[in-house]
Amino acid sequence: MRCLSCHTEIIPEVTWSTFWKPPTKDVACLLCMEKLNEISEPFCPQCHRPDHKGVCKDCQLWEKTHTDVLERNVSVFPYNEFHKDIVARWKYRGDYVLVDIYKETIQRKWSASGFKGMQVIHVPLSEERIQERGFNQAEAIIGLLGERSISPFERTHSEKQSKRGKRDRMYSKNPFQLIEATSKPVVLVDDIYTTGRTIRHMAALLKETGCPSVSSFTIFR
């Protein structure tokens, strides 16, 4: 077996307790696993910003401008250099299987988050982007969670969020159009929560049409 990220061979440790069990399928080597670094306390209860006690400034600002739009966001990993590199390879180079190294951790976090049973909605991509990338990263994550999702949205093509500055993103036009309203509580799934702009664009549309509560689940914060 090889590590998905660094391609070195994984040699499983054999002890008396593992000797009797069927071998586990490891996806990443110990060195890469150590670098994953899950978000742990303290974090902002609103958006999961790591290393922050209490509600963070950004969330307080959002609360002023977009009152009661987003319930809360749950994230799994801090978006640090290691994860940036993985995301670059996964999303922009298109190495689809790389996301599997997160599988175990995000499944655990998903069960602990209390989102199970809610209506899952993935963030759609524009037609041009999906042609270029070949897959939708949010759907890939939902696949890992073993959930089914719907997308009542359509998205117009625009510049990648990652290529924009913060100010530019905050005043960006809403690229989504809602096609179908829903009356159940929903959870939006995406890969990265940076400023929270994308998620709130969608949440605002859902709220306007009578959705009782909107939360979000993202891998990185």
Residue with tokens 């209506």: 119
Residue number, 94 or 114, with CB nearest to another protein: 94
The HSE-up count of residue 50 (CA atoms within 13 Å, CB side) is 15
Residue number, 142 or 203, with CB nearest to another protein: 142
Longest dimension (CA), the chain: 60
Residue number, 143 or 185, with CB nearest to another protein: 143
CA–CA separation, 83 vs 38, rounded Å?
A: 11
Alpha carbon 162 to its chain centroid, in Å, reads: 15
Q: SS3 sequence, 175-198?
A: CEEECCCCCCCEEEEEEECCCCHH
Residue number, 70 or 99, with CB nearest to another protein: 99
Residue number, 149 or 215, with CB nearest to another protein: 149
Q: How far is the CB of 7 from another protein (least distance, A)?
A: 7
How distant, in Å, are the alpha carbons of 71, 167, 182, 221 from that of 176? Answer: 20, 19, 16, 22
Q: How far is the CB of 157 from another protein (least distance, A)?
A: 15
Q: How far is the CB of 134 from another protein (least distance, A)?
A: 5
Q: How far is the CB of 204 from another protein (least distance, A)?
A: 27
CB atoms within 10 A of CB 41: 7
Which residues are at the interface with another protein (CB under 8 A)? 1-2, 7, 89, 93-97, 130-131, 133-136
Q: How far is the CB of 140 from another protein (least distance, A)?
A: 8
